[in-house]
Amino acid sequence: MELGVNIDHVATLRQARYVGNIDAHNAEPDVVAAAQISMNAGATGITVHLRGDRRHIQDADVFRIRERVKTKLNFEMGNSPEIVDIALRLKPDEVCIVPENRQEVTTDGGLDVAGQCDALRSTVARMNAAGIRVSMFIEPDDAQITASHLLGAAMVELHTGAFANAEGDAQQRELERIRNGALFAHSLGLQVNAGHGINYTNIALIRTVPHLVELNIGHSIICRAVFTGLDAAVREMIALMR
């Protein structure tokens, strides 16, 4: 498995003091530095989510990362015309289309691809035409996986939030859902990724899921980095994944 490090929470910390002034000479922490440290520690990709309300990552951040960090860039995005246009100018290696609700603290649940096929079809086609691989952030549900495949997505990222929040037998049931979703997606020729709520403890169960290619992890790694430093936090997660 490969690791994509989501650095949104580095920007969240910066915005707590430097909102509206990210170019100040003393604005910190630097998201580009976080991306570079993560890459040097073994991450194979950097993930950022440019939200419509710009609550953490800013437009300038994604273009600076694209210019200065020579690794795979995974651009999480809502399906809005403004963000689609930015993605086509940015030309990340991958986009992951996610649901977006301004009232949520973080992405809550998977995208309803099956119910939004008409709205998503043009976006997927435009990304594919630009040579940008498309992933759908979805629940491990056969209907959502099938819809993602029919729209032309190359990948699905299975939402692991329900698994991460569950305990005991309920967690095992959620793990089985993820396993079944991974098997079905793989059978359709889709690359299978996973993310949301994965941490240094539940990774032991997630790594048993078949056909997982990449995990996108942010919050847990940044939390660990507060105590150990980012380089050590990324290296520890990669060791546990392996």
> Is 2-133+205-241 CATH 3.20.20.70?
yes
What are 144-166's pLDDT values in tens digits?
999 999 999 999 999 999 999 99
Model pTM?
0.93
What are 172-231's pLDDT values in tens digits?
999 999 999 999 999 999 999 999 999 999 999 999 999 999 999 999 999 999 999 999
Residue found under tokens 């994604």? 62
What are 127-138's pLDDT values in tens digits?
999 999 999 999
Residue 25 annotated in active site: no
One-letter amino acid of 135 = S
Residue 2 annotated in active site: no
Residue 159 annotated in active site: no
Residue 187 in tokens? 């059978």
Residue 71 near residue 47 (C-beta atoms within 8 A):
no
Identify the pLDDT of residue 104.
54
Q: Given the residues 9, 49, 149, 159, select the one marked as catalytic.
A: 49
What are 79-106's pLDDT values in tens digits?
999 999 999 999 999 999 999 875 555 6
Identify the pLDDT of residue 105.
54
Find the length of the chain: 242
**DSSP bridge partners of 216:** 4, 195
Cis peptide before 29 (omega within 30 of 0): yes
Give, as one character, the DSSP assignment of residue 23. Answer: T
Q: Given the residues 9, 56, 149, 196, select the one marked as catalytic.
A: 196
Q: Given the residues 9, 56, 76, 214, select the one marked as catalytic.
A: 76
